[in-house]
Amino acid sequence: MRIALASDEPYPVHATVRRALEDRGHTVVPFGAIASGHDEPWPDVAEAAALAVASGACDEGVFFCWSGTGISIAANKVAGIRAALCADPGAAAAARIWNHANVLCLSNRTLSDDMAKELLAAWFDTAPGERGAAGVGRLAAVDARHRR
């Protein structure tokens, strides 16, 4: 798979995540600070990387910001994106099963190398589940009612 890897600031954990993604056979497509090596505005980074996922240029995404919250909010503004901020492997697996999330959002500030590997394993080893399909369908209806 082609994975959009995005952050607004460069952090050491990105190297661990990139290596773990590549070790799983994924092609990493860098965005924001991961591509440029310097700080970039999180809304702009999220939009560019989310558009790559939504358009199919990338299959999924792993996005970072200081808390993970801002980049997840910004990514979710792009139609077709279901970005989930996850701090533990159980939440990452649940986001795949129940929400069919296609972007994993993480905190630059709090993520250790070991937890990054555990989160990626939970995310990529869990397929979107049938149990979540009805909820995702209802979410699409909510989205349609509120898109301008």
The token pair that represents 4 in the structure block: 């959009």
Which is the catalytic residue, given 58, 65, 86, 105?
65
DSSP string computed for 76-129: TTSTT--EEE-SSHHHHHHHHHHH---EEEEETTT--HHHHHHHHHHHHTSPPP
pLDDT at position 14 is 98
The token pair that represents 146 in the structure block: 């509120």
- Which of these ranges, 32-36, 37-41, 58-62, 135-139, has the smallest mean pLDDT? 135-139
**pLDDT over 70 (residue 86):** yes
Question: Is domain 2-146 annotated with CATH 3.60.150.10?
Answer: no
- Please state, for a pLDDT cut of 90, what percent of the chain lies above it: 85
**pLDDT over 90 (residue 10):** yes
pLDDT at position 30 is 98
Report how far residue 50's alpha carbon sits from residue 34's, in angstroms, rounded to the nearest whole number: 15
The token pair that represents 10 in the structure block: 């460069």
pLDDT band at 139 (very low <50, low <70, confident <90, very high): confident
3-class SS of residue 2: strand
Who wins on pLDDT, 45 or 128? 45
Domain chopping of the chain, boundaries: 2-146
3-class SS of residue 44: helix
Respond yes or no: is residue 65 known to be catalytic: yes
Report how far residue 110's alpha carbon sits from residue 31's, in angstroms, rounded to the nearest whole number: 20
Per-residue pLDDT tens over the stretch 70-80: 999 999 999 99
- The model's pTM is 0.93
**pLDDT over 90 (residue 49):** yes
CB 84 within 8 A of CB 95: yes
**pLDDT over 70 (residue 148):** no
Phi, psi (5° rounding) for residue 43?
Answer: -65, -40
